[in-house]
Copies of this chain bind each other. A is one copy, B any other.
Amino acid sequence: MIVHETELRVQYYETDQMGVVHHSNYIRYFEVGRTELIRRLGMSYRELEDSGTVMPITNVEVRYFYPARYDEMIRIKIVVKEMPKVRMVFHYEIYNETGKLLADGSTTLAFLNKETGRPQRTPEVMVRLLSGYFDV
């Protein structure tokens, strides 16, 4: 199992006239956290793309409990529970500074060959980086 946390500050341009963060931005916060998790594994997502694999999203779910507000430092906790085969599932929880759970959710990502656009299995380099985290 992989557990990772990233902090980021809510920006003004992410708020809407309800006075809180627009709900679409949580999907972007998920992406920020996911990028940092992948980097910590030992290979940035940029390097993965450069090596010929892209990871498009195939599924997103978000549940919103409390709104995030401008200038808050929020914490994005991500858990990967299973070794990916052809898809990789990330579970997210977003907390504010006081530790309140603002939202949770999940995303599923596929592995595609960048040139052909066809689905592939988890790239070998990724399998190696991930193998330490899971009982195989």
On A, residues with C-beta under 8 Å from B are 11-13, 15-20, 22-25, 27-28, 31-32, 35, 44-46, 54, 56-64, 67, 70-71, 105
In the bound complex, do residue A13 and residue B16 qualify as a contact, i.e. CB atoms below 8 Å apart? yes
A78 to B17 Cα, complex, angstroms: 24
Main secondary structure of the interface of A (DSSP, over half): mixed
CB distance from A122 to the nearest CB of B (A): 18
Copy tally for this chain in the complex stands at 4
Given A12-B35, A16-B12, A17-B17, CB of A59 within 8 Å of CB of B63: yes
A63 closest partner in B (C-beta)? B59
A13 to B26 Cα, complex, angstroms: 12
A24 to B15 Cα, complex, angstroms: 13
In the bound complex, do residue A62 and residue B59 qualify as a contact, i.e. CB atoms below 8 Å apart? yes
In the bound complex, do residue B12 and residue A54 qualify as a contact, i.e. CB atoms below 8 Å apart? no
A24 to B57 Cα, complex, angstroms: 10
In the bound complex, do residue A71 and residue B46 qualify as a contact, i.e. CB atoms below 8 Å apart? yes
A56 contacts across to B, CB distance below 8 A: 18, 20, 23, 64, 67
